Structure 1
Amino acid sequence: MILKVTLALSGALVLTLAVFYAWATSGSYPRENYTDILTYSADSADVDGSASEGKPLTLVSYNIGYLSGLTNQEAVARPKTLFDDNLAAVIATLRAINPDIIAYQEIDLNSKRSYNVNQLEALANALGLANAGLAINWNKNYVPFPYWPISAHFGKIVSGQAVLSRYPITENQRTVLEKVASRPFFYNAVYLDRLAQVTKIDINNRPLVVINVHLEAFDNPTRFQQTRTVRGIAETYAKDYPVLVVGDFNSAINRPEEGDRSIEIMAESALFTTALAKDQWTNQPTFPSESPEHKLDYLFYTPATIELKDTRVVAEIGTASDHLPLMMTFTLK
């Protein structure tokens, strides 16, 4: 009798866990919309060719860390005021810069951890950038991270990468990069996808390709392979288009624990150059935002088709994220 009860309880527990796993690893965002091109009601000023001819374009790349500031992966309670204040700081800073293109990483659309605010829509409307290319990379009903306490779990997440543009977006694609093979299946099942988002923008009837990336943070061999994949994609597009490769590469030349640096793979491409010379990378740290020590975020461009005018870290944005954004101004040749 005791054995039957034990087996019944064990079976019920296994079934419950199986049902929970299936539900948790599913998501609420439709897969057919993972690479949407969206148009918001924001007024994109100065997009006609005559007004913009010869005018340098400005791009910002920003791992926005879902506006969680320095608390990004910490098991702490985050009040809504934290997100409201960080959103206001980002809007104020980026309005002053008035960028034409913004490439975001870690931007939430409907996540419990950030109070279910559509951050992409809020920023598009506030900054007057009506065109968006979206690439969903995290769509789970329940993410049990940070692991403890349970009250700190992220729970439901709809998040991704996005390119906002003053100019029309004509194409938008996502390539899911290699996962960490050594991780157990249940870990990968609730973890985000690492992406290369490829967005084609029409700049006064001239195409510009922006490749927006967010690479593996914790496993060096996987990040190496992801970087090789990104470089291959970028070099293919560079044969026909001016190309910018931007985002969070999660590799720094001044972190000894990293060993070999995966960012070197992108830097060795004959078709691309960095907005900041490699020997100056340590002079442009982007992480952590409070007292930056490491450059994890990069801007690469095709010098044959793009002329760089200026680049800098947008330090005045403060700690709205655990990263600082990068900015570059450029013209198409």
Structure 2
Amino acid sequence: MKIFRKYYLIMLSVISAACDPFNTKIGPEVSLYQSKEIKEYSFPDTLKVMTWNIKFGGGRIDFFFDCHGDRVIMEKSEVINHMNALAEKIREVNPDILLIQEADVNAKRSAFVDQVQYLLNNTDLNYAAYASQWKASKIPSDGIGKMDSGNAILSKWKFTDAKRIALPLIQSQNFIVRYFYLKRNILDVQMEHEGKKLHILNTHASAYAKDDTKKKQLDIIKAYADAISLSGDQLILGGDFNSLPPYTEQTSKFDDSVCTNEEFEADNYSAETEWMMPFYENYQAAIPLNEYQNNNKDHFTHTTDKNAYWNRKLDYLFTNEKFIDKSGETLQEWMQISDHAPIIVNYEF
């Protein structure tokens, strides 16, 4: 305890002595990308939309935060193999718009592979916008080192605008943890076609909040989407909400209950099952709530245990316009590629 306290005081003094010594602050900036080879596409009446938390190209390696292993850093060959698998499946689906979460662009843990650029260069997508949510010149904990990871939206067509909207930080964390920790966001890109404006929103809410931070984040996400709807623009909202759908009963069998480190202990999801209801009430879901209730296991999207089955739904796609009826699918067959399953749906534009 004395050693920990000494380390804590040293870090506190270092951070306090300079404004941002580890460069963790993230502003509203968005990085724009394009593929090394641009493919030409006519704009269709129906867009295929996909969301996927790609687990920073980590495949199903047992990382320390999963509480099933102790890995922190990957070899470059491992990252490339995992990215090849991700790109192969994305090409197979052939989405027009792809939302990804946990994409590393300059991180020691993923051998500094820019995963957004890699996917553009190895799929049929042309353009991307990226917003950091975990960034530091060095994270002096668990060997993590340099970090730049966040959300991205990839598309076959150019965006007319892109911006990052900050979400609240976890206030129950101590000052040092909060300084180095993830800074969640909404990534908002815009596309226009024949006088119609479409906002595509990608987000990734907090996973380990022990206070009401996640509820505040979800409320802000909903209010932001509502404002776009009131303006008359179309929107698609998706990502990893780290929250269960309403009426979800099963919470006790989650395999991350093996975590004993309170920093990575699972949320009490049972207290949050109503938090997603406003999204279902005001927007059309790719997987309607009645379909989820009737066949919920068919729409689970996450598990930390690579040897177990998907055990909860955390990932979503919503719109204020129209998804093609019964076009929403949860693709559960690719468990070895990520700890999340992707969702796809066809959108009528």
Q: TM-score range by the shorter chain?
A: 0.7 to 0.9
**Aligned residue runs from structure 1 range 138-153, under 5 A:** 138-145=134-141, 147=142, 153=143
Match of 1:214 among 195, 200, 204: 204
Superposed, 1:46-65 pairs within 5 Å as 46=41, 48-49=42-43, 52=44, 54=45, 56-65=46-55
Match of 2:287 in 1: 276
Let me know the Cα RMSD of the aligned residues: 2.7
Moved more, 217-226 or 249-258: 249-258
Q: Which residue of 2 aligns with 1:181?
A: 171
Give a deviation string over 1:271-330, Cα, whole Å, max 9, x none.
312111223332300112742110011111114x55455011222433222111111112
Aligned to 1:154: 144
The Cα shift of 1:228 comes to 0.5
Q: Which has the higher helix share?
A: 1
Give the counterpart of 2:346 among 309, 326, 329: 329
> Are positions 1:129 and 2:125 aligned together?
yes
Q: Alpha-carbon deviation of 1:87?
A: 0.8
1:39 aligns with 2:39: no
1:302 aligns with 2:320: yes
Gaps of 5+ in 2: 1-5, 253-267
Structure 2 Cα separation of the partners of residues 176 and 34 of structure 1: 11
Q: Give the fraction of aligned pairs with identical amino acids, expressed as a percent.
A: 23
- For the pair shown, the structure with the greater C-alpha radius of gyration is 1
Q: 2:134 aligns to what SS in structure 1?
A: strand
Deviation at 1:36, TM superposition (A): 2.6
The one-letter amino acid of 2:40's match is A
Letter in structure 1 aligned against 2:285: T
> Equivalents in 1 of 2:163, 2:214: separation in Å?
20
The answer (yes or no) to whether the contact 2:28–2:166 under 8 Å persists in 1 is no
Q: Tell me how far apart the structure 2 counterparts of residues 324 and 134 of structure 1 sit (CA, whole Å).
A: 21
Relative distance call for 1:173 and 1:308 in structure 2 (3 A) is farther
Moved more, 237-246 or 69-78: 69-78
- The one-letter amino acid of 2:302's match is F
Deviations 1:206-228 (A, max 9, x none): 32111101001012521111100
Q: Superposed, which structure 2 residues align to 1:105-120 within 5 Å?
A: 105-120=101-116
Count residues with an aligned counterpart: 307
The CA deviation at 1:63 is 0.8
User: Matches of 1:120 and 1:15 in 2, distance apart?
Assistant: 32
User: What is the deviation of 1:269?
Assistant: 5.6
- For residue 89 of structure 1, give the secondary structure of its aligned residue in structure 2: helix
Matched, 1:83 2:79: yes
* Structure 1 gap segments, 5+ residues each: 1-9, 148-152
Partner of 2:95: helix, strand, or coil? coil
CA contact (8 A) 1:107 1:119 kept: yes
SS at match of 2:271: coil
